[in-house]
């Protein structure tokens, strides 16, 4: 059955790929993004070309996940165009890279806003319609970091995704009574196909970043010296026993 779907953060990466795949599968898909008449005008044109080339119903809609007004207007337009909304895909997000200590509290708050509070804005706009329909699906694009085993220098991003993941789990319990289903997608590590690393933010405190960089070099030198000492000791022990 054809569904009406909105995918946030669809100007590139997972969002663009998902929106195109769902449209090719026969659904009505709204690829949402901000600044559709400015910075992302090229992405809007690319989406239109994809729709024409593949005879797919892929549309774009202006939606800034950091704005209640924008989220409400986008969801209202989708409902007015189609009379319903079936699926919401929370894909929008932003990553930062660097030692946790070097990020200011304000930077962590901004990252939490993009990765967590954004979903609340979109949900508050969309869920009344899904509850009215007594059916729907909310999809959350989480992160494998939520299960632990995370590499260093991605702590702010992983903490924000963990917050989003927790929100998704609790939300699912409240929405199921309305006939609304929840799916949490947990991608692994992707170094290609997304702009996460290319567009990732950096710590504001560059002095502490430099201290970490210098400390890493000192640590690597110290570890190398330890290994050399072990090798010398093992060599001497070997000679004494032969």
Partners of 185 in the β-ladder = 141
Q: How confident is the model at residue 235 (pLDDT cuts 50, 70, 90)?
A: very low
The confidence score (pLDDT) of residue 233 equals 47
Give the pLDDT of residue 213: 85
Separation of alpha carbons 144 and 161, rounded Å: 9
pLDDT band at residue 217 using 50, 70 and 90 as cut-offs: low
Pairwise pLDDT comparison (241 vs 76), residue with the higher score: 76
Q: Considering only CA atoms, which of 50, 49, 47, 38 is closest in space to residue 11?
A: 47
Q: d(Cα 190, Cα 197) in Å, to the nearest integer?
A: 10
- Which residue, among 192, 200, 4, has the nearest Cα to 89 in the 3D structure? 4
Residue 194's pLDDT is 60
Identify the pLDDT of residue 66. Answer: 96
For all residues of the chain together, what is the average pLDDT? Answer: 87
Residues labelled catalytic = 153
Q: Confidence band (pLDDT; 50, 70, 90) for 201?
A: confident
- Return the minimum-mean-pLDDT range out of 64-73, 178-187, 204-213, 216-225: 216-225
Question: Mean pLDDT throughout 158-176?
Answer: 95
Residue 220's pLDDT is 56
Rounded average pLDDT over 24-51: 95
Burial (CB < 10 A; 0-12, 13-18, 19+), residue 236, is: exposed
- pLDDT value of residue 136: 98
Report how far apart, in Å, the C-alpha atoms of 55 and of each of 1, 2, 7, 48, 84 are.
17, 15, 19, 10, 22
pLDDT of residue 90: 98
pLDDT confidence of 241, banded at 50, 70, 90?
very low
Residue 231, pLDDT > 60, answer no
């Amino acid at each position: 059955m054809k569904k009406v779907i909105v995918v946030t953060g669809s100007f590139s990466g997972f969002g663009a790929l998902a929106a195109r795949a769902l449209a090719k599968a026969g659904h009505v898909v709204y690829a949402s993004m901000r600044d559709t008449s400015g910075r992302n005008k090229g992405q809007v044109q690319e989406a239109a070309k994809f729709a024409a080339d593949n005879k797919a119903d892929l549309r774009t809609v202006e939606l800034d996940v950091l704005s209640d007004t924008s989220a409400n207007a986008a969801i209202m337009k989708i409902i007015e165009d189609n009379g319903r909304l079936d699926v919401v895909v929370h894909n929008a997000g932003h990553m930062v890279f660097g030692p946790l200590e070097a990020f200011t509290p304000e930077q962590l708050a901004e990252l939490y806003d993009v990765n967590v509070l954004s979903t609340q804005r979109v949900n508050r706009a969309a869920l009344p319609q899904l509850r009215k329909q007594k059916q729907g699906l909310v999809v959350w694009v989480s992160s494998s970091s939520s299960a632990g085993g995370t590499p260093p220098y991605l702590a702010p991003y992983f903490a924000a995704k963990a917050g989003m993941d927790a929100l998704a789990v609790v939300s699912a319990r409240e929405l199921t009574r309305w006939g609304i289903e929840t799916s949490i997608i947990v991608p692994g590590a992707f170094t290609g196909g997304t702009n996460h690393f290319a567009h990732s933010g950096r710590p504001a405190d560059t002095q502490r970043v430099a201290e970490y960089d210098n400390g890493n070099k000192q640590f690597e030198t110290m570890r190398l010296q330890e290994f050399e000492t072990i090798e010398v000791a093992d060599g001497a022990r070997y000679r004494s026993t032969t």
